[in-house]
Structure formats: C-alpha cells, structure tokens
C-alpha cells in the first residue's frame, strides 16, 4: 500500500471514530433526564434510556444512571442488580432502596433519599434480562430462552456498549452489587467479565475490582437448610414441624411425594400471617400482597421443599412495590425516562409477568467466589438478620462450606455508637457482615447502616469497631 493510500485510510479510520464518538455523545445527551415528574431539585445529573445489545439484534436493555452527588470524576462506578429472577433493579433498588429518589405512596412525588448510595459512588441500575421492566426484545422466542448464562452474557454486552456512550467512566474503578437472586447474577457476571478481560481490547476491557452481595442466594443445599433452621430458631415453626421437615429433606423423591407434602405446606403456611422478608415488621393491610405464601401452595403436592421454596419470589416489600407500579406506568414518567419507546403490549410490573421460564440455574456459585477471591477481587457478603427468605443462617452455612480460614474473628461493628451488626473476615479477603434488624432489602430497612457498609466496602476499610 502506498503512502498516499495509507494516509487516506488513516483519515478514513479517524473520521469514522470521530463520527461514532459524536453519535454516542448525542445519544448520551438524549438520555439525560431533565423533567422527571415529582423530582426534588438536585445538582447531580442522571440519565435513562436503552442500550441495544447488538447492531442487528432485537434485544435492548433499559438503564437508569445517577452521577455521584460530589466529585464525580473521583468516585467509583457501581452497577446494582436486583434478583427474582425477573425483578427490576429500577423498581426496587433505585426507587425503593438505595437510589436518590424514592417513590412515595401517592405515586406522584419522589422523596430525596438522604442515604442514597450515590453519595459514595456513581450508580448504574439495569433491568435485566429482557422481559424485566422496560427491557425488551422484538423476538418473543427470546423470552423462552432465559436463564443465568443468558443474563450474564447480555449484561456484559450491555456494559461494553454503555461504556461507549459514557466513555468518561471507563477508567473508573468498577464494582458490582446486588441482593437476593443477584447472588447468582453478580458473581456470574463478575466471572464473565474476568474471563473476557483476558482477551479484551482496550475498548472492551472493564475495570472490575470486586463485588458485594446481600441476602444472597448462593448455594442451594445450605440456603434451604438455613431457611428451615431460621424459622425454628425464630419461633415461627414448632419443634415437631421442624423435625418433620428436616427429615423430609433427607428423603428421596418418592417418599417425599407420599409423606411430606403436608409438612411442607405447613411450613409455608407458618409464614402466611407475617412478612417473610422482614419477620418483625407489620404486613401490608391495604391489598392482597403478592408475597402471600398461599399463592404458592397450589399444585405443590408432588414438589419437594426445595421446589416449593423456589415458588416464593425474592425481592418484595409488602406495600411499596405498588407505589413503584403506579409511578412507572405513568406516561409522563415514561416520557421523562425515555422508556417504553416501543409501546410494550403489557404494563410495567416490578417483577416480570412475561418471562416464560428460567431455563438454566446454577445450584451453587461458591466455586466462582473461590475463583475470584484467588484472582484478587474484593468480595463482601452481607445479610439483614430479620429476613426469613434468604436468612443469615443460610448465608453463614454457605460461607462455612467454602472452608475458608478466619482472619478476623466474629465481632460487632458500629454505626453512631450503636451495634449495626456483626462482621467476620477471612483469609483471601472475603468479608461477611450482618446488618442488625434489617430485612431482605437492607437499604430499605437500615438506610444509614447500609450506606456505611457500602462506603467501607468501596474504600476497603474495616467496618467501625466502636
């Protein structure tokens, strides 16, 4: 190739890069949210909209991004994921738990969250996979192919494309965080990023440093045994029922079908009058809560306790999901957030009603935790200790199963001179912390303590001991 041809090619490549960058900048500015109904005045910027996964593909994932309240360029970037599977990180994490704007009872006003996690980081919320919230696919067959692996892969592609739209954040330290079934999403996505980073180009490399998961589903066997032990130790079930359920969990499928269905149903019904996700707080009396355990008892005669328990969704709060439902179904809100641009044929719901089935689900993510600890990632696992759905007993049993050597013995940690929970650290860097008096959604029930926990995770500083 002659020098003139090389020069022409160079100019062509540079011009193309400039055009692409200009296009992404225009898309970013188009995503900026400037007139969200009911929003209190703030100085930080936020953006919402769609990222198409592949140029010729039919999937698009919806995000809502909040810059940090101060020192944006110095703060890390954190992706938050809720679980389900099939529940929205925007309807729950952003609008009810740790985002800067909390949806109020009337569905019109937003409350400024004094303990929003964007005090400590730039916060990105993602609705994944397709079929969750505003995220969509133009190929309905995609909804029947979802599972853990598809969710991780689509989320990774989303991040690569999102960084093209927000290139200023590409060099920031990047962390993942989430709760409940995000105990699968977060480690699986972290592993995928880690593996693909090995052969990544400068454009596709993601600066992942670690992750944090709360009240997390991480190991089926210990999760289930911890659920039963928690119910008994908190006086929710009788000694007799406890012994019967424990015995049934050791039986084969035929014996369970013949002898155990009534025991399993009795276990579930023990929670029917209380909120399984926060056992000491009042239940919602204004409506039939979607968490009612009776909804999950039908057709359960031939199921094991494990199968039956999977029918109880993760990620609800008794009443507040109704407020989010109302708010995000408003047309003026959708316009402001650049959402529902394809006019989905179904209403917005905090947990998806269109995902047909979950095809692939790992029984454990403990090997991933081991692998990424050995790779030097920062990993914190936390647990609100009044959650009966993914209780602290399950989390402790799961961490114990990893066989890690204790580095810092179990001790109290403090917030404002009060015990906020307990913490133990392990060789290899893993930290296990509890949050005292918090239910399944820790930032909702203990906002100050959760912000302190989050800030210490980001800084890799020990939790306060006084």
pLDDT per residue over 95-125, tens digit each? 999 999 999 877 778 999 999 999 999 999 9
pLDDT at 310: 54
pLDDT at 282: 85
CA distance 163 to 296: 41
Q: Which of 89, 116, 180, 383 is catalytic?
A: 180
pLDDT at 316: 43
State phi, psi for 189 to the nearest 5 degrees.
Answer: -70, -40
> Active site includes 385?
no
pLDDT at 55: 83
List Cα–Cα distances, 138 to 55, 316, 352, 413, in angstroms: 13, 28, 16, 49
Element (H, E) at 126: strand 122-127
Taking Cα atoms as reference points, which of 189, 140, 216 lies closest to residue 434? 216
Q: Which of 142, 154, 223, 387 is catalytic?
A: 387
Q: Is 420 helix (H, G, I), strand (E, B) or coil?
A: strand
pLDDT at 174: 98
Q: Which of 184, 440, 452, 456 is catalytic?
A: 440
Q: Which residues of the chain have pLDDT under 50?
A: 16-17, 288-303, 313-317
pLDDT at 399: 98
CA distance 294 to 265: 9
Angle at 121 between CA 119 and CA 127, to 5 degrees: 110
Peptide bond into 339 cis (omega under 30): no
Q: How many residues does the chain have?
A: 466
State phi, psi for 78 to the nearest 5 degrees.
Answer: -125, 130
CA distance 217 to 381: 11
> Active site includes 440?
yes
> Active site includes 180?
yes
**Lookup result for tokens 């696992």:** 381
Q: Is 167 helix (H, G, I), strand (E, B) or coil?
A: helix
Angle at 364 between CA 359 and CA 369, to 5 degrees: 125
pTM above 0.85, yes or no: yes
Element (H, E) at 328: helix 320-328
pLDDT at 301: 36
pLDDT at 307: 57
**Lookup result for tokens 């596709």:** 204
CA distance 436 to 385: 6
CA distance 287 to 289: 6
pLDDT at 300: 33
Three-state secondary structure of 28-96: HHHHECCCCCCCCCCCCCEEEEEEECCCCCCEEEEEEEECCCCCHHHCCEEEEECCCCCECCHHHHHHH
pLDDT at 354: 93
């Amino acid at each position: 190739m002659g020098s003139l041809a090389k020069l022409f090619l160079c100019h062509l490549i540079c011009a193309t890069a400039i055009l692409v960058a200009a296009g992404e900048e225009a898309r970013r500015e188009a995503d900026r949210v400037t007139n969200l109904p009911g929003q209190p005045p703030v100085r930080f910027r936020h953006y919402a909209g769609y990222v198409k996964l592949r140029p010729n593909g039919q999937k698009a994932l919806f995000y809502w991004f909040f810059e940090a309240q101060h020192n944006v360029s110095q703060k890390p970037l954190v992706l938050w994921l809720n679980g389900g599977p099939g529940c929205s990180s925007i309807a729950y994490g952003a609008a009810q738990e740790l985002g800067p704007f909390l949806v109020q009872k009337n569905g019109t006003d937003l409350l400024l969250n004094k303990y929003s996690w964007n005090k400590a980081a730039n916060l990105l919320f993602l609705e994944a996979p397709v079929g969750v919230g505003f995220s969509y696919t133009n190929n309905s067959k995609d909804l029947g192919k979802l599972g853990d692996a598809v969710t991780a892969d689509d989320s990774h592609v989303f991040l690569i494309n999102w960084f093209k739209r927000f290139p200023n954040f590409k060099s920031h330290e990047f962390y993942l965080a989430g709760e409940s079934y995000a105990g699968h999403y977060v480690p699986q996505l972290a592993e995928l990023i880690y593996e693909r980073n090995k052969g990544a180009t400068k454009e596709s490399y993601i600066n992942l440093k670690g992750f944090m998961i709360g009240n997390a589903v991480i190991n089926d066997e210990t999760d289930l045994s911890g659920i039963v032990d928690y119910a008994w130790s908190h006086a929710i079930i009788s000694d007799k029922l406890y012994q019967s359920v424990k015995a049934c969990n050791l039986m084969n499928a035929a014996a369970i079908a013949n002898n155990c269905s009534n025991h399993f149903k009795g276990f579930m019904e023990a929670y029917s009058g209380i909120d399984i996700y926060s056992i000491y707080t009042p239940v919602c009396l204004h409506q039939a809560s979607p968490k009612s355990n009776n909804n999950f008892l039908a057709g359960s005669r031939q199921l094991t306790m494990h199968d039956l328990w999977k029918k109880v969704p993760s990620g609800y709060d008794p009443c507040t999901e109704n407020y989010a439902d109302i708010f995000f179904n408003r047309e003026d809100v959708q316009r402001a957030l650049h959402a529902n641009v394809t006019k989905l044929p179904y209403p917005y719901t905090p947990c998806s009603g269109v995902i047909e089935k979950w095809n692939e689900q790992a029984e454990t993510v403990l090997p991933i935790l081991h692998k990424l600890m050995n790779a030097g990632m920062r990993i914190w696992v936390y647990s609100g200790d009044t959650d009966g759905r993914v209780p602290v007993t399950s989390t402790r049993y799961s961490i114990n199963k990893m066989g890690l050597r204790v580095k810092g013995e179990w001790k109290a940690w403090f917030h404002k001179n009060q015990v906020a929970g307990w913490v133990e650290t392990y060789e290899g860097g893993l930290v296990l912390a509890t949050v005292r008096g918090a239910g399944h959604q820790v930032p909702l029930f203990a906002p100050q303590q959760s912000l302190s926990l989050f800030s210490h995770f980001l800084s890799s500083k020990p939790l306060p001991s006084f």
